[in-house]
Amino acid sequence: MLSRRVILKFLGKTSSRRNASNIWPSRITNPEYSERRQRLLEKLISTLKPGEKNVLVVLKGAERFFIAPDVPNSFRQCSHFRYLTGVTSPGCYYIMSAQVDDDQPKEQQRILVADRRTAVEELWEGQLPSESDWASTAQFSDLQPSKQLPAVLEKLCDQQTAVFVSESASSAISAIVGKKCFSLRSLAPFVDQLRLTKSSSEMDSMRDVCTLGAQTMCATIASSRNTHMENAIVGLLEYEGRRRGSEKQAYPPVVASGSRANTIHYLEANNDIHPNDCVLVDAGCDLNGYVSDITRCFPISGNWNDHQRSLYEALLFCHEQLIEYAASMEKVRLSYLYRRMMELLAASMGELGLIRQGDNASMLKAAEMLCPHHVSHYLGMDVHDTPSVSRDIELPSNVCFTIEPGVYVPLDWPRKEWRGIGFRIEDDVATLAGGGCELLTSSVPRSTQHIQQLMNQWH
């Protein structure tokens, strides 16, 4: 049983201090940004073809995004750009150029292309960080205004240059450099490879954001009992996250009651919650450029009915087995976790009676109908992190990923009792040096009893 003291610890502290960075400072040091750029250059140089003497990296940051004319949306920097430069201002480019000698980078240039704001722009948008703030993480040798971008690129690019561009930059710059060099290559897979394995300060960043995400989920569940509207829970997530220091939600949260939980990306949250229904909440926090991703399901009344409980407990069994399985593997492979989820779902849903007992193949097919999504994705600076990395590789240590088995019973499913119920249980996990896994979101209750207790003790 959870004591009240333990429950209060789950909820974490809220702060009256004004700035989230006071509560959860960034863990990434300035030298770490330099190391990342150096490692990237070394990786790129190792792929050069005969005759190529220079490497040019053109990294484009995110642009501001407007939701109506002259109305800016909140800004989130492109994660590749932030990972390599630490710069979180919109509309920038970062150019790295290195001459290669004996497979080593020589005579490097690093140019930040960014515009300072005019007095009128500052009146509307506020001040940008100073040039020396930008330089502290990005360590540029030159700062150029954006109108100089074509000239900068033309100067650095010739027939012996291999040009690597971030996806979003390719069309904008191909006209400028495409004719002068052999080929444009995609930078994303190389940065994804670096980002897959977290440094120790990144692991601490993930622990921070997962702790914050866990506290936010606990507080939201604790204060949701008997809420009538899905949208009110979206508001609670925002409130409970931001008051603990979250900069924003990691992605638009799913708050789905009743059979709407069967729509995996249900974002409308515009329906009433029936007093006897369960709610599925899939939400994460965004802190210092790293994100969490947690899903929990709970009965809005605080009390499970028999069918909700039996299905939830069958899914929880799969979840717990998957966490044990991941911890027991010498090298985790997400594709093996997926196969294991299907086997576990087939067995446990067969035992429950939701799937008809039969041969393996027919039970696995039924399990696939009940869960249309994968059991896992990588996690880090983006919620679906490093997407160019296969889910069928042996993972080194310090890789973060989710474990999220789900079961979604269609309204026309042969067995009537569980029709229209959708559940998913999602936690964040990291591989450890020497084998095994760390459960980063362990403090969010997942048993029916602990969830019920969290909801009822709070009132």
Do residues 291 and 381 touch, judged by C-beta distance below 8 A?
yes
Residue 355 main-chain phi, psi, to 5 deg: -110, 135
One residue of 205, 249, 301, 402 binding Mn ion per CB under 5 A: 402
Please state, in angstroms and rounded to a whole number, the distance separating the CA atoms of residues 280 and 308.
Answer: 12
Tabulate helix, strand, coil % of the chain (nearest 5): 40, 20, 40
Please state, in angstroms and rounded to a whole number, the distance separating the CA atoms of residues 317 and 425.
Answer: 11
Residue 356 CB, nearest approach to Mn ion (Å): 30
> Which window, 59-67, 151-159, 232-240, 292-300, contacts Mn ion (CB under 5 A)?
292-300
Please state, in angstroms and rounded to a whole number, the distance separating the CA atoms of residues 166 and 186.
Answer: 6
Residue 279 CB, nearest approach to Mn ion (Å): 17
What distances in angstroms separate CA 137 from CA 85, 129, 277, 283, one per listed residue? 6, 12, 49, 30
Task: Check binding of 230 to Mn ion (CB under 5 A).
Answer: no
* Residue among 402 and 441 whose Cβ is closer to Mn ion: 402
Q: Which two tokens stand for residue 132?
A: 């020396």
Residue 220 CB, nearest approach to Mn ion (Å): 17
* Residue among 401 and 413 whose Cβ is closer to Mn ion: 401
Please state, in angstroms and rounded to a whole number, the distance separating the CA atoms of residues 321 and 339.
Answer: 13
C-alpha triplet 24, 28, 32: angle, nearest 5° = 175
Residue list 6-65, contact with Mn ion (CB under 5 A): none
* Residue among 110 and 319 whose Cβ is closer to Mn ion: 319
Do residues 33 and 139 touch, judged by C-beta distance below 8 A?
yes
- For helices 200-222 and 230-242, the axis angle rounded to 10 degrees is 140
Residue 128 CB, nearest approach to Mn ion (Å): 33
Residue 284 CB, nearest approach to Mn ion (Å): 8
Residue 253 CB, nearest approach to Mn ion (Å): 11
* Residue among 97 and 402 whose Cβ is closer to Mn ion: 402
Residue 26 CB, nearest approach to Mn ion (Å): 24
Picking from 113, 110, 107, 111, the residue whose alpha carbon sits closest to that of residue 54 is: 107
> Which window, 59-67, 218-226, 386-394, 401-409, contacts Mn ion (CB under 5 A)?
401-409
* Residue 19 CB-half CA count within 13 A: 5
Residues paired with residue 401 on neighbouring β-strands, in sequence order: 378, 429
> Which residue's Cβ lies closest to Mn ion?
293
* Residue among 184 and 381 whose Cβ is closer to Mn ion: 381
Other C-beta atoms within 10 Å of 68: how many? 7
Residue 384 CB, nearest approach to Mn ion (Å): 8
* Dihedral sign of CA atoms 131, 132, 136, 141 in order: positive
* Residue among 111 and 291 whose Cβ is closer to Mn ion: 291
Residue 423 buriedness (CB in 10 A; 0-12 / 13-18 / 19+):
buried
Residue 424 CB, nearest approach to Mn ion (Å): 9
Per the listing, tokens 């450890």 go with: 432
> Which window, 188-196, 200-208, 400-408, 438-446, contacts Mn ion (CB under 5 A)?
400-408
Residue 377 CB, nearest approach to Mn ion (Å): 6
Do residues 420 and 409 touch, judged by C-beta distance below 8 A?
yes
Task: Check binding of 385 to Mn ion (CB under 5 A).
Answer: no
Residue list 55-84, contact with Mn ion (CB under 5 A): none
* Residue among 277 and 293 whose Cβ is closer to Mn ion: 293
Please state, in angstroms and rounded to a whole number, the distance separating the CA atoms of residues 176 and 150.
Answer: 6
> Which window, 175-183, 243-251, 395-403, 451-459, contacts Mn ion (CB under 5 A)?
395-403
* Residue among 365 and 374 whose Cβ is closer to Mn ion: 374
Site map 331..370 versus Mn ion, x via CB under 5 A: ----------------------------------------
* Residue among 240 and 293 whose Cβ is closer to Mn ion: 293
> Which window, 172-180, 288-296, 301-309, 347-355, contacts Mn ion (CB under 5 A)?
288-296
| Rg of the chain, C-alpha, whole Å | 25
Picking from 89, 100, 7, 1, the residue whose alpha carbon sits closest to that of residue 46 is: 100
Query: Total residues contacting Mn ion (rule CB under 5 A)?
Result: 2
Task: Check binding of 293 to Mn ion (CB under 5 A).
Answer: yes
* Residue among 308 and 402 whose Cβ is closer to Mn ion: 402
Q: Point out which residues bind Mn ion (CB under 5 A).
A: 293, 402
